[in-house]
Amino acid sequence: MVQLIGFKKIKTAIFISGRGSNLKSLIKFSKTKSSPISIDLIISNNHNAKGLKYANIFKIKKKIFRFKDKTLAEKKILLEIRKYKINLICLAGFMEILSKKFIKNFKGKILNIHPSLLPKYKGLNTHQKAINNKESYSGCTVHFVNHKLDSGKIILQNKVKITKKDTPKSLAKKILVQEHKIYPKAILKVFNL
Ligand code: GAR
């Protein structure tokens, strides 16, 4: 593993809507010597997101914005992003689609993790869809974000075997283990580390 000595960490914001297990795994990664990022801000569209507890546990600033008025929410988020000098946004179970304008106005990189082998099974209920289609494999993908759902350039994927016994729940669980592995790896890849 590379040790980054004298390297200024890339200020990162993680966007979540729910449980936050990828957030937790990225926070742990950010604290390792080989991590190029520091996590300085957590953004959520959901006051009840369970993952917000990690903001308290790890003493990271959190901000919640309702997306009822998306234009306004995005404007406010951009202000926060500038205030904290954020250069990288990692979407981690963030269930809103960011507008073209937001993506254009944010000058850094935006990544997302999705629980399927993109371009297959964009959107919701990915595990059910993969099982229904009798796929032998599913997996997860980290990709750059553009204004189309789950469609930006792919950075990294990990495959998971689907067995006859798998249910959407068991498959989600297996894939999540891989998600926690590939998100940090994808970040290292994006910054050529
Ligand atoms: C993860 O499986 C992530 O891939 C998925 O939501 C879950 C969030 O879990 N994201 C999407 O479906 C986005 N299209 P987490 O809150 O425990 O990280």
115 lines ligand 1 (CB under 6 A): yes
Q: 151 in a domain, yes or no?
A: yes
- The H helix count followed by the E strand count for the chain is 6, 7
Give the chain's domain count.
1
Q: Report the CATH number that the domain containing residue 183 is assigned in CATH.
A: 3.40.50.170
Mark whether 147 is an active-site residue.
no
Could you list the residue range(s) of the whole structural domain that residue 103 is in?
10-190
Give the 3-state secondary structure of residue 84.
coil
The answer as to whether 62 is a domain residue is yes
3 belongs to a structural domain = no
Q: Is residue 64 part of a domain?
A: yes
- Whether residue 1 lies inside any domain: the answer is no
Residue 5 lies in a domain: no
Tell whether ligand 1 has an atom less than 6 A from the beta carbon of residue 22: yes
Local structure of residue 139 (DSSP, 8 states): E
Give the predicted TM-score (pTM) of the model.
Answer: 0.96
| pLDDT tens, position by position, 52-108 | 999 999 999 999 999 999 999 999 999 999 999 999 999 999 999 999 999 999 999
**Is 2 a member of any domain?**
no
Residue 111 lies in a domain: yes
Q: pLDDT below 70 — which residues of the chain?
A: 1-6
